[in-house]
Chains A and B, each alone.
Chain A
Amino acid sequence: MRNRLVGLVVLTAVLATALSAQAPATYRAPRTKDGKPDLNGIWQAINTANWNIEAHSPEPGPMFQLGAAYAVPGGFGIVEGGPIPYKPEALAKRQENYKNRLTQDPEIKCYLPGVPRAMYQPFPFQIVQSPKHIMMSFEFAGALRTIYMADQTPAPADSWMGWSNGKWEGETLVIDTTGFNGMPWFDKAGNYASDTLHIVERITPRSAETLNYEATIEDPAVFTRSWKISFPLYRRIEKNLQLTEFRCVEYSEEIIYGHLRKPGTGPAPTR
């Protein structure tokens, strides 16, 4: 009897654990006509990860002229389980990046943001979902990701936004992305990866208006082990909202080419 009781308790505990592990999946998203969770819509992260994906205190911005408007808000970060496991030399490069962030952050030059940064920049992105391709169109720099649900191939070449193959695991869209060129940063704080970056993202609807986003990041050239980020994505529910153009190239040109301007013409170079 006693043994049976113990057994029942153990069984109950096991069941409870199993159930609680599945708890987030109890939400069942509306379906597309081909029966997949419907991710169509305009989404946006609300966090401070674009400043720094690790937990960080508030601090002044890199240009005192911009005062409080562009100072850095503090945040809990989106990295799970402590600091990013950089190799020592890679950590040194991150610190160097941070020091030079005003000129070297690819974002300031309107370069394609890469992954995962595009997913939490403070700009909306739109998912257009078809059975063969799930497209993610980002307002920042007009960046684009194509998630191949069919016609999958290995990355044919390196690129800024990587090459993504996707599959459905129940409620979750699982995206495997490789083929990065090592140029984008993860944030304004200089966190980065190399061209051996490999990202596996899991996007799971958690309510009609929120998605759980998590990504496992591995890059043996930069990190000692793989690590995870996670945050929610929120639906932009404004009626008739559309992405608007943020064709930011021209906003970055004086930074990039201003020193080559003919003396005495137009505005003074900004650097």
Chain B
Amino acid sequence: MKHRSLVVLSIVALLATVVFSASLIAGQQRSAQPAAQPAAQPRPAAATPARPATQTAAKPYVVPKTVDGQPDLQGYWGNGTYTPLERPQNVTKEFYTEEEYKTVLKTRASGEDEQTTPGTTADVHYDFTQFALDTSQSPIPLNLRTSLIIDPPNGRLPARVGAQAGAGGGRGAGPGGGGGRGAGGGAAAAPAGGGRGAAPGGGGGANNQYDSIQNMPIGSRCIIMGGSGPPLMDAGYNSVYQIVQGKDQVMIVTEMIHDVRIIPIGDRPLPPEQLKQWIGMSRGHYEGNTLVVETTNFNGRRPFQGAGQNLRITERFTRVADDKIDYTFTATDETTWVSPWTASVPLTKEKGPIFEFACHETNYGPANILAGARATEKAAADAARK
């Protein structure tokens, strides 16, 4: 992580434009390098729900406790993954074999090498592996599941409310679903929402997204990026978190845009309905060794898989090994889905520390893009006058 982060630091100046990769990434390339180490050599993981429950662990894991006697979740964690939110249509089983999984990893990792077209500007700007922007730069937890969704059992989103019977469950989200790389945006002339795993769920910009900054995707504007949650989802790259537990508070720091969520623990009245936030408002409690967090009060401006203000997220954090937290979330919104659904997104230990990601402060990309759009319009107008 340290190495990766230093690499990331070294490109902080680039990040503004890198954020924009969203607008280009959908059809984007990169040189065909071999998959990075972690993908090629998945680390062994403890026996957890991420693996078929056929093996029984020799010894039950003793969860460490904080000084306050709570299950200790503290440290640096990552959730980068190549496992898609929804089970691919051509896959019918819940788990891959390890052999199959390795093949899937390799395919996906090498796919990251081919996201831009060789010889294009995008190809020069967005060399993901070189700039540590590919998922495989971080440790990827071994996850034999064929989808992050574990309920419904078919591994796919439940049907949308009001959708025709048999229409299937929602759109096919990319890996990470909730925002992906750069959180939305389409290629130059394309409609918004073309980014990997982005679409409306990532807060894509409006059509005419180069008319003004307000039309651009929220990730490109450094307002919030995918991954910060809730729920915590692979952000495409740099999906790194720090958990700190104080007295009656749990803080989750997302490295991307130094996003902080502080979860009060214990009985509290529900937050006032009028107070809405991008990240909602969270309440936490412990159930045995599990931290349970309920979040409501979303402002709906960053719809999650199509759900807005009525979304409720219940997260469960259970440390199952020194280097692993089982993390599941259940998304409920009776106005969006016919039933709640649950996904499992394991967190794996990262090396700290995490660094300040000052995104907005050096976000030169939007100014250059808007200026480019104005120049293009002027050139077209000049040409039309001739």
Give A contacts to B, CB under 8 Å: 32-34, 38, 40, 106, 109-112, 126-133, 135, 137, 142-144, 146, 148, 151, 156-157, 159-161, 183, 240, 242-245, 247, 249-250, 252-254, 256-258, 260-262, 265-266
Chain B contacts for A253, CB-based, 8 A: 213-214, 221
**For B68, B259, B268, B360, which residue has the most chain A Cβ atoms within 10 angstroms?**
B360
Number of A-B contacts (CB under 8 A): 135
Partner of A137 from B251, B269, B352, B370 at Cβ < 8 Å: B251
A11 CB to nearest chain B CB (Å): 43
- What distance in Å separates the Cβ of A188 from its nearest Cβ neighbour in chain B? 18
Q: CA A250 – CA B223 in complex, angstroms?
A: 7
A143 to B258, CA, bound (A): 7
- Min CB distance B110 to A, Å, is 31
A245 contacts B277, C-beta separation under 8 Å:
yes
List B residues 1-19 near A (Cβ within 8 Å).
6, 9
Interface size on B, residues (CB 8 A): 53
Question: Please, how many angstroms separate the alpha-carbon atoms of A33 and B247 in the complex?
Answer: 9
Interchain CB contact (< 8 A) of A144 among B74, B248, B260: B260
Chain B residues contacting A243 (CB-CB under 8 Å) are: 262
25 A-B interface contacts by CB (under 8 A): A33-B69, A109-B360, A111-B358, A111-B360, A111-B361, A112-B361, A128-B249, A128-B251, A130-B66, A130-B244, A130-B245, A132-B74, A146-B353, A151-B353, A156-B6, A159-B356, A183-B361, A242-B262, A247-B278, A250-B221, A256-B213, A256-B367, A257-B212, A260-B370, A265-B212
* B264 in the interface (beta carbon within 8 A): yes
A247 and B245 alpha carbons, distance in the complex (Å): 23
Give the top 5 A-B pairs by smallest Cβ distance, nearest first: A260-B370, A128-B246, A257-B213, A33-B67, A262-B211
Complex: chain A residue closest to B279, CB-CB: A245
Contact residues in A for B249 (Cβ distance below 8 Å): 40, 126, 128
Chain A nearest CB from B19 CB (Å) reads 12
Residues of B within 8 A of A244 (CB): 275, 277
Instruction: Give every chain A residue within 8 A of B214 (Cβ-Cβ).
Output: 250, 253, 266
B264: chain A residues at CB < 8 Å are 240, 242
Residue of A nearest to B276 (CB): A245
- A262 near B246: Cβ-Cβ < 8 Å: no
Considering only CB atoms, which chain B residue lies closest to A127 in the complex?
Answer: B246
Which of B113-121, B187-195, B371-379 makes up part of the contact surface? Answer: B371-379
**Contact A32-B67, Cβ < 8 Å, known A247-B278, A253-B214:** yes
Residues of chain B within 8 A (CB-CB) of A112 are 258, 356, 358, 361
Q: Which of chain A's residues has its CB closest to B263's CB?
A: A242
Chain A residues closer than 8 Å to B277, beta-carbon distance = 244-245
User: Which B residues lie within 8 Å of A262 (CB)?
Assistant: 208, 210-212, 373-374, 377
Q: Is the CB of B367 within 8 A of A257?
A: yes
- Cα-based distance from A143 to B214 in the complex (angstroms): 23
Residues in B neighbouring A266, C-beta threshold 8 A: 211-212, 214
A130 to B69, CA, bound (A): 12
Complexed CA–CA distance, A266 and B67 (Å) = 54
Chain A residues near B245 (CB-CB < 8 A): 128, 130
Bound form: Cα–Cα A148–B253 in Å: 15
CB 8 Å contact bits of B344-380 with A (1 = contact, 0 = none): 0000000011011010110000110011011001000
B74 touches A130 (CB 8 A): yes
B370 surroundings in chain A (CB, below 8 A): 257, 260-261
